[in-house]
Structure 1
Amino acid sequence: MKPLFDVLIIEDSPADYLLLRRQLERRGVLGRCLHVEDDQALEQALREPWDAVLTDYHLPGMDIARIVRMVRAADPLLPVLLVSGSIGEERAVELLRAGLTDFVAKDAVARIPEALARALQEASDRRELQQAHAALAASEHKFRSLFDSTPCGLLGVDRESGTVLQGNRQARQMLGEVVGRSLDDIVHEQDLPALARRRAHAVAADAAPLQLRLQGADGHGFWAECDIAELAAAGEGEAPAQWVLSVVDITERKLAEDELRISSIAFESQEGLVVLDAAGNIQRVNQAFTAITGHTQKQACEESSTVLLSTGGDDALRRRVWRLIREEGYWQGEVVNRRRDGSLYSAWMTFSAVRNGAGEVTHYVGTLSDISREKEAQREIHRLAYFDPLTDLPNRRLLHDRIEHALAASRRSEEHAAVLLLDLDHFKKVNDSLGHNFGDDLLLQASERMRSALRAGDTLARFGGDEFVVLLEDLGSDAIAAGRHAERVGETLREALARRYQLGAQSLYCTASIGITLFRGRDATMESVLRHADLAMYRAKNAGRNSVRFFEPQMQTELNARNALETDLRAGLERGELVLHYQPQVDDDGYLIGAEALVRWNHPQRGLLAPGVFIGVAEETGLIVPLGLRVLEMACAQLRRWVELHERPMRLAVNVSSRQFRQGDFVESVLRCLRDAGVEASWLKLEITESLMLENIDEAVAKMDALQDAGVGFALDDFGTGSSSLSYLTRLPLEQLKIDQSFVRNLPEVRNDAMVVQTILAMAKGLGLEVVAEGVETEAQLEFLRRHRCDAFQGWHFGRPLAAEDFDDLLRRGVSWSVPPVAEEALRGYGA
């Protein structure tokens, strides 16, 4: 079958076009045909694919050379045949140079198919040749790109001479200009034999790369990993002209390997080492770690941080240490850890974070040293230096340090401390008659008795021979209270030491003489303290031994008086010597709204005593509890009498101490007093102090709620003098605040007191509480309080506290008693 040609015919004569087309159709070679007559039509037609272009030479308005150029611009290989008569040799050469493919004479139209086939074949050959050249160029470019972009250095080396024929970019960066250089100049001379041996076995695919030292571009040597490959031979049976040496810089890796070897040796040191991941899980431990802790690497990895920081079971310490490690990236310190067998040991530990290039923690490295022996040695050195070898009590040296510390603390706190110097009576006779072994046994028993009788924070020291010293700190700012406490401790020690001792088969008694001195840091030195205690101890010996004496005669006198007062108070409670006086409380309109019960002691020798004389002793000795209960009983009984005497009852306020309030049966005791007296709970109001809020607030609220449910009211007494908290005020079921008289006393002259009172009033109004001002004694104070909307008043301006019969008499008569005119109305409704 003949091939069909798509032919573009350029002809100005339609007749010639039809003749040419008919000839091609007759010969069966024409597939598609298009006739154009000008440049514009030609340009449009060339946008389509054609097998060949046939053109006439004589074309009015068109130049044959331009036609050829237009065709070549559209397709450089598209055959262009000129179908024309003779045009002359020179013109023909010019057109061939312009790109004309062939000539066909008009009188030889039969040759056109043959000419077309030949032209198309030539075009096809040229096209394939161009494609081959382009592929070769692309392959060459790709090879060169790959050769230069390869991350390792590549050297093409002459097989015979060892001269470098080519090198890629990476090789030039590592080695400098390499073309023309011999490998003998590049490879370290000690490594050339290894390179020669490898060349002889380059075909071994499983051969490991060589590690060679090469001369770098900067003149310094570097380690490289090198491999050899042979290029293909130029022809079959011929030896390759080149072989290729690959070069990879492994200097950093070699350094890392060296570091790793050093680290590996260092890792297995005498110090425990551990590596953890970022989450704190153990990854690796060394043999020293296993020897110290008893945990193998497998056990350590399984149990992780509890092995590393067992901290003797102190979970809070372990969490705190890990928090510091994660926050700071470093921690060091001493801990007590537990070995796998359960035994404890002292350890010094350090932890450091390992971070990557982005600053993120990837690992933690820890060191562990067993310092148990060092700690034990330190403890033994400390014990020998500061503790008595017989009794294991602090010795004179440590005692001096403790007293100096107590003096410094006392200077800051202004609180008293005390020193008790004890001397065993007739101890020398025991040593002389029974021997030193029995004397030592006696000293040991005596020291153990004293140790058992003291608080954990007290210091007991052996001062020397048969003398012991006790240091008591934080005894408060009240000298009398501090002295009483020191005296009680002295008596406790005296009684403990006076009991019988059993020394082997011997049974004997040995008493002690005890001297006491109180001191405060600003008034004393260590030497004066010990000297005064020594003098007091000799006073005890001179008094007949087996006794306790103070250095200060006045203190002894006051303590004696205090002891006598305590004895009398106990007897007075039993004999019913306590009585109540009542002070009226008046509202803003001058009406009597209630009274406060105030306890007095009708002492048989000293007469009527105010509470300031004996309440402190009652608080200190615990007598405040039965005293408070007695006051409640008398107050409830008085309420009952007022109900019987008058038309309506009087609201009575009773003070309750913190110690009394803390009693477990406090609620029941209050309700029992009300039941026994047969009075309504709403007639009773209990006044508590701010100190209750510093105790167990939840327990206080529960007790107050129980009593309030029964009808008992509550007032907060002496408000502003303690450590009040507004959050407590909102929780306590209070109905009233009482402004302490220390603020009222200076009204209205002292600006600060006035501001405090105004603040208390404003706050109480905001909380919905009534306010009673205590200690109102002048008209100016009353006017100020009224002006700032105080609800009620109490004080000598309205009347002093009166005995029960006097208060009853006034209520019965319905008249005023030494109070402002408003009080005349206050008694309205309380007549007999």
Structure 2
Amino acid sequence: MKPKVDAAKLKLIYLEDSAQDVELLRELLTDAGFDLEMDCTATENEFLSFLQDPSYDIILADFKLPGFDAFGALRHSREICPDVPFICVSGSIGEETAVELLKQGAADYLLKDRLEKLPSAIKRALAEAGEKQALRYAGKALQASETRYRRLFETAKDGILILDAASGLITEVNPCLVEMLGVTSEPFLGKKIWEMEFFRNIAANQDSFAELQRKDCSHYDDLLLETADGRRIEAEFVSNAYKVNYRKVIQCNIRDITERKRIEKALLALSLRQKSILSAVPDIIMEVDGNKVYVWANNAGIAFFGDDVIGKEAQYYFEGEQETYDMVKPIFSGDENVIYIESWQRRKDGEKRLLAWWCRVLKDENNNVIGALSSAQDITERKRAEEENRILSKFPSQNPNPVLRILRNGTLLFVNEAGMNQLSEWHLTAGNQVPPAMGEAVYEALQGESPQNKDFECGGRTFSFFIAPISGRDYANLYGFDITERKRSEEEIKNRIIELERFHRLAVGRETKMIELKQKINELSARLGLAPPYPLDFVEANNKSNFENQNTITGDKIL
């Protein structure tokens, strides 16, 4: 049953055995402006039945009733519905009896010859009951809050130290800090912070403790602690001052960041290594975002495109009509394969150059595409050499590269001197069979009546052959070119791109986890009514468009 503060509507139980008194009271309360709903009884059993209904606002009772009295009725109401006010209305009652009723929990008592005071007594009783209930609810809420705080304090993953702000006395230490330092809680309690060797880097003496007293919040990101067994811990320290029962305390949150620092150092070393590698790599390496705008370039890339390349779209440097964007479309759809393309690009001096690109997707920790990382080589001169070789192929004896003529059945008809020398492991002789793989390639080209390009390994080197079926004949001419160095270079570039992409994913993933952790701490601070300890406006702004700080209460403020 809930007490009613607004007396405009009133539902009550009236214990009375006089019908005349019932009607008199009904008329009085109605005239006083109450919208009245009243249930009357003179028996104990029916009264107990009424008490099971939680909707009553107040109970009025005559002192003497058949079989029981107001004391009995009051006991029942205190047991079943303690929040509902009880007023005794009697024709005659002694002062001692009235006082005893009040002691046992009655809200008020009135004599029947003074019923004109009943409306105001009812309003007063309802208001007082409401206040008592509000206080009771507040007490329960406080108790629940203290229970939550204690649980959080005991289970926090950060060490928590509570100090008396005036004296520096340690009043509480949570299990995490005890475990972190390898001791029990007994040595802490009753000691002042500067008396504990563990915390000499926080407050070495009373004077340095004064700094914590002056500041509402202090933050140290590189605190060194030494455990009981001599281990050194890198820790992050945050202190906050607040009042508990009008007494100022300082809560110190201590987080072991030794592993985090180790990872940061490893990442820094890796980053420096990558920078050194990139500085030494002669190939062009470029990064674009999801809009194909250049956001990073190595030294070779800047040397080719110019100092102003960052911020420009890739197609700004295209020369002539190109299908480059169509060819790399799978990358920006999430395909993780390395894609090879050749594209005419404008160098910073305006010269048109042919670049061979190896492109790979970049993704964030949520597997969303954020751009691409590409490596390129200027192959303009190589292409020119290949063209010269093509022309020279018309004169086999003068060609410095292998030239062969092979029948459909794999029989060698002709090989020039360069072919015999460079392909010596094959022991090529006219009239003999060529290696099976080459014979199969010739057969396929003749069957399809279309030229083909095939790569073959010989003597630890790679040769690219252009197989040209001769129309109306049962043989094909093959023009070879040693591409060993080119293949090695391409493989190195692919591996380099994959290594760079892995480093990028590692660095971005760690930074995002740190931001998420700081966000959780800020959220907990807000729930506790504290100011967020970390400025993350830029993250919140980004979340609008795209994507627990146990401080005073939670003990999880430090990051």
Q: TM-score, normalised by structure 2?
A: 0.48
Q: Which has the larger radius of gyration?
A: 1
Q: Which has the higher helix share?
A: 1
Q: Looking at both structures, which has the greater relative contact order when contacts are Cα pairs under 8 Å and sequence separation is at least 6?
A: 2
Q: TM-score, normalised by structure 1?
A: 0.35
